[in-house]
Amino acid sequence: MAFSSLIFVCIFLPIVFGLHSVIRPIWAKNALLIAASLVFYAFGEPLYVFLMLLSALFNYLCGLAMGGEHKKPLLALAVFVNIGLLCVFKYAGFFVETINRLLQTELPVPQIALPIGISFFTFQALSYVIDVYRGQVERQKSFARVLLYISFFPQLIAGPIVKYRDVSAEIEQRRVTVHSAACGLRRFIWGLGKKVLIANAMAAAADAVFAMERSSVNIVLAWIGAVAYLMQIYFDFSGYSDMAIGLGRMFGFHFKENFDYPYAALGIRDFWRRWHISLSSWFKDYVYIPLGGNRKGRLRTGLNKVLVFFLTGLWHGANWTFVAWGLFHGLFSFLEEAVPSIRKLPRFLLHLYTMLVVTVGFVIFRADDLSQAGFLIAQMFTGFRFARLYTSLALRQLTPFFLTMLGLAVLGCGPLRERVLRLRAASEKEAGLTAGETWRQVLLDLAAFVLLLCCILRLSGGSYNPFIYFRF
């Protein structure tokens, strides 16, 4: 079940939120959310819901057993089983295909369906066990609380990756006010609009260009596809994160932000401080720092970063394009550290350089294979062919709706919205108005209602694409 579906917006969410609002005991609220989360996951993965349950039970037992004398073997077992689970379901076919290609063998390639969100709930489960081992969180004796942490539907299938220590207190006790629920609902609707109106419009153009015959693509079409996908992946994934954060708030949970306007970044290292923050934080806490971080000399630091970027790329999928994308970003992150003058460029040039690297990187990320990635990147800089065919194909993508959404995307990917809200808040403070008495609150609620209606109309018309990150 996707957040941007009518069954979720009009049926599932109102029922679950309504029941959660009238139920009083915290254990009953948690039981409701566990049941709702299992229904939510089973709606699309009726068999793999048992895999998720087994994963939660195994990691709960590992954490529970950490009170004994064999903590290190238990941690090793937990890491082995969790990573093994990912390798079997996500990378088995990829590994066999790679071996066949390298050794010219004909080993049978396993055809295993990928459970939705396995990378997300596996990383969450691992972080719980590792934090218990480190003594950063107490062993949880209640399986229900661990299960709720791993299976909670807002962040179950596409993140953000939540650490147990960040929500453990709210699992045991939380309070939802009318104001916090309204703020959460507005955040959900904002994310829904980003997905349904902007990301889907960008997806139509990006998919069309990436599906074209190579002979039909010139520099204009290559840039249309690249820019469309650049906007699609940001508004798709940040929209999902907004919805997850908003839903969490509606049920009394406060998830950390997952994006901080990454397209306003000045440098690739700054980009990764702003993009998919929960994943970057996970690799920093559980891979980079345990490997030594930057404490063992420049060579070791560089190798640690290369490994983290390699794993970040591989985490996204079983394709060499993802690995190449991760290493591509790792290369420029290394260059920025090795050549400090890059970071001293004028802000405009530094931002231009950053967006160029990010855009080219996402072409690699989106391409079906490295051959297509190389071709499209070459066309972006050398495809100076302007016959009538190319003009016709380009105009077909540049519809009025696409151009309107592209304009909104350019405005929305910068911190303009936050600046407007800060100015409004400042003006209200000077006027001595409280939040409940201001027109701002009324206007925000009205705007959210209109945006929700627009999204429902678009969804009713069948203009729906699944989230990009569902496959990860």
Nearest to 71 by CA among 133, 136, 119: 133
DSSP state letter for 348: H
- Measured over the CA atoms of residue 235, residue 241, residue 246 and residue 247, the dihedral's sign is positive
DSSP state letter for 90: I
Cβ neighbors of 425 (< 8 A, separation 6 or more) are 440
DSSP state letter for 135: T
Cα separation of 90 and 320, whole Å? Answer: 13
Contact 364, 320 (CB under 8 A): no
Known catalytic residues?
Answer: 316
Contact 288, 308 (CB under 8 A): yes
Place of tokens 């069948």: 462
**Measuring CA to CA, how many Å separate 364 from each of 266, 285, 298, 448?**
21, 27, 28, 36
- The DSSP string of 252-314 is T--PPPS-S-GGG-SSHHHHHHHSSHHHHHHHIIIIITTTTTTSSHHHHHHHHHHHHHHHHHH
Cα separation of 433 and 41, whole Å? Answer: 44
Cα separation of 72 and 82, whole Å? Answer: 15
Contact 146, 165 (CB under 8 A): no
Contact 66, 74 (CB under 8 A): yes
Q: Which amino acid is at 79?
A: V
Contact 139, 71 (CB under 8 A): no
